Amino acid sequence: MASHAQNMSDLVLAIMVLDYLRIQEGALTIASDASLARPLTDDATELASALPETFFVLQDQLRVEARALSVAAGTKDAFKVADAYGRLSETCVKCHGVYRKGP
């Protein structure tokens, strides 16, 4: 998870200065970083079996939105990048709202 946080921080910096190549690369890194596989069995020894289906739905959505951000960056259109990043960050916040309980 530490690399996930760093990847998101790097992506935000690239977006703020509209470094389209870094946005593309960063978004693809995030898309490939989301990688917990759904459990194959009900075996309690599988780490992923402790996670509800909602987690995997949000993880899949994260991949979709990160890839869409990479495509938007390829157009070099700041408004498309902003919209795509908004959808990506919405997915992040929803997942964190469910799975990360703050102080």
pLDDT of residue 38: 56
Q: Report the percentage of the chain scoring pLDDT > 90.
A: 53
Residue 92 near residue 22 (C-beta atoms within 8 A): no
Q: What is the CATH number of domain 2-37+46-99?
A: 1.20.120.10
Q: Note the pLDDT of residue 100.
A: 74
CA distance 80 to 82: 5
Count of Cβ atoms closer than 10 Å to residue 20 Cβ: 19
Nearest to 69 by CA among 99, 28, 37: 28
What pTM did the predictor assign?
A: 0.83
Report the alpha-carbon distance of residue 82 to residue 67 in Å, rounded: 14
Give 57-89 pLDDT, tens digit per residue: 898 999 999 999 999 999 999 999 999 999 999
